[in-house]
Amino acid sequence: MFHKLVVISFLFFGIGIEGAQAQELPLFVVQGAPFTFEHQLFYNNEQHDLDFDTRGRVRSRHQAAGVSLGYSLTDTIQVALHGGTLVNPEVSNSVSTWRGHSGYFYGLEVADHIFPATEEWPGILVQVGVGSQTSFFDRQQTAGDQAPIDQKMRDLRYGGSAVATWRFKSITPYFGPRVEGSDVKWSDNRAAAGSPSHVEGHLSKHVGVVAGCSFSIFQGLELQIEGRALGETSIRASVQWLKY
């Protein structure tokens, strides 16, 4: 089973979708047995609008691959630590585009299946989380000219979702609202004279929706696709291995 998990996860990590900002794993909509671990390999592709105090509004994009280790405290409550790497981070406004090659992220999430979904009744899942990500930028393009830079963006992200879930044999769809906030610090290690060495920002939109579906491949192995809109534009894909 482990070899199948690795093969499927690499298929998703190979998907190329333009633009992303990675921070959180897909929701834990499938419950593991109490006192067991859940392992999740995931790919994120996100785009966010950020407001900065001196640079105005920028669009942030990243791609990322990560891993999560969750633990079922009870029949309904799961706690998960996650982390991973960012690929080709990018931010842009109407004047310039800042690009890099790497970054990283990590975080903690808690999910509670308040009303577990069954084939007879829908369920309610509540999730909250906090995480941090760091992006490194090494070049800036303005009006067709590109210059080397040394800049870093740190984004502290926090939020939560409340979704309704349904279960139809091997398929579990879900949908609901999401609220999110952030504290972004963008620093320049080689700031020019008269320019700030750092600026601070936050998410432009704080409320959105999340929707997705989990597919049971076989006992203990789940494939999940998730999208988010309004507050952000994103797609997430994951393979979840429930170790009973």
CB-CB contact of 90 with 60 (8 Å): yes
Give the pLDDT mean for 161-184: 93
Q: How confident is the model at residue 230 (pLDDT cuts 50, 70, 90)?
A: confident
Place of tokens 């808690």: 110
Task: Quickly count: other Cβ atoms within 10 Å of residue 15's Cβ.
Answer: 11
CA–CA dist 9, 109 (Å, integer): 21
Give the pair of three-digit tokens for residue 177.
């609202």
The yes-or-no verdict on residue 22 having pLDDT over 60 is: no
- What stretches of 143-232 adopt beta strand conformation (E)? 145-165, 171-188, 198-203, 207-218, 221-229
DSSP class of 55: T
Torsion of CA 191, 192, 193, 197, to 10 degrees: -20
User: Which fold would CATH assign to domain 2-242?
Assistant: Lipocalin (2.40.128)
The yes-or-no verdict on residue 244 having pLDDT over 60 is: no
- Name which residue leads in pLDDT, 55 or 42: 42
CA–CA dist 45, 17 (Å, integer): 7
Q: State the pLDDT at residue 28.
A: 84
Amino acid at 3: H
The yes-or-no verdict on residue 13 having pLDDT over 80 is: no
Amino acid at 68: S
Q: State the pLDDT at residue 71.
A: 92
The yes-or-no verdict on residue 126 having pLDDT over 90 is: yes
The yes-or-no verdict on residue 86 having pLDDT over 80 is: yes
Place of tokens 């972004």: 184
